[in-house]
Amino acid sequence: MAIRSIRYVNNAAKKAVQKLPQAIAIDFLNDLNFVAAGKDPRSPFKHLPELGSGVIELIENGSPAYRLVYCAKFADTVFILHAFTKTTNGVDRKAMTTVRERYKEMMAILREEQKSDRRTS
């Protein structure tokens, strides 16, 4: 069982997690530690393949509801893509657009790291 690292895809993703209520953020980050250890998160979750391969949304329902979206499929790293407060029923289109953009950013980071690894080996 490989232990993965946990990374924010960018500073905006980190700030989004910091904007969550502290107890919610702690629960979600604990879930990501489970994921990093090769286990399922304790919170309810949903796969979002329409946003990218390996994209998963952690769910904390309530009023308001909270979400954290991550990708754990690449480079033994759990990438935190976005976190947000969900205030509407249905899909939060703005949040999903942000996730799509950050997924593309994550893929660019991975490509750059692979190029760098090939140059050093």
Using the structure block, give the residue that is written with the tokens 């999903």.
96
pLDDT at 115 over 90: no
pLDDT at 76: 87
pLDDT at 50: 94
**pLDDT (tens digit per residue) in 7-34:** 999 999 999 999 999 999 999 999 999 9
**pLDDT (tens digit per residue) in 48-57:** 999 999 999 9
Euclidean distance between the first and the last CA atom of the chain, given in angstroms as a whole number: 25
* Superfamily of chain region 5-120: RelE-like (3.30.2310.20)
To the question of pTM greater than 0.85 for the whole model, the response is: yes
- In our burial notation (b when 16+ CB lie closer than 10 A, e otherwise), range 39-70 reads eebebebeebeebbebbbbbbbeeeebbbbbb
